Amino acid sequence: MRGAERRSKLKDKIVRLRLAMTHQTEGEGDKGGEVDNMPLVAVVMGSKSDAEAIQPTLDVLTQLGIDYEALVISAHRNPERARQFGLAAQSRGIEVIIAAAGGAAHLPGVLASWTTLPVIGVPLATSELGGVDALYSIVQMPAGIPVASVAIGSAGAKNAAYLAAEILSLKYDEIRKAYQKYRGELQGEKQ
């Protein structure tokens, strides 16, 4: 097995492990106020079945060296968990929330209602409507509670991570350097 392939398999395994771990803790509640080496970005998805669609987000965050947590919270099956997560996110050290959902895609808006952290919504093409439903749901937030929206599909999933990097670049030099390096490399591509 080649090095790159082995690294990619290992990364997949870690992501699956993290997903499994965070999913198991669903419903146990967050430790409000405790900042114990928390990642800067929380990637929240509405269902375990979204894991593959959100993988490009996790890959880009990893490439840029941004620590994240990935977890599953359904806004309608477990609204209390969504509330607890949103309320505690900032005090736990999270600075940007990426929320991915398909269908009615209320998760990003619900999380945004419980926090003043920036929330980036990722519309997923998991329903019969191909993600247009999720896109409309995410971009049509009423005034006062903003949710940023990226595109449907893997371009959007990647851009959610790049947008998070841009936000964090305002404060973290290392992230700004990694992101600017990536942007510099882009210039030579596909020309």
Query: Mask 135-174, x = binds ligand AIR (CB under 6 A)?
Result: ----------------------------------------
The single residue among 44, 60, 88, 124 that binds ligand AIR, judged by CB under 6 A, is 124
* CA distance linking residue 39 with residue 152, whole number of Å: 25
* CA distance linking residue 169 with residue 171, whole number of Å: 5
Shortest Å, Cβ 96 to ligand AIR = 19
DSSP string computed for 73-92: --TTT-HHHHHHHHHHHTTT
Where does this chain touch ligand AIR (CB under 6 A) — which range of 18-26, 39-47, 86-94, 111-119? 39-47
The pair of structure tokens assigned to 100 is: 């991915």
- 47 near ligand AIR (CB under 6 A): yes
Residues that bind ligand AIR (CB under 6 A): 45-47, 49-50, 74-76, 101-107, 124, 126
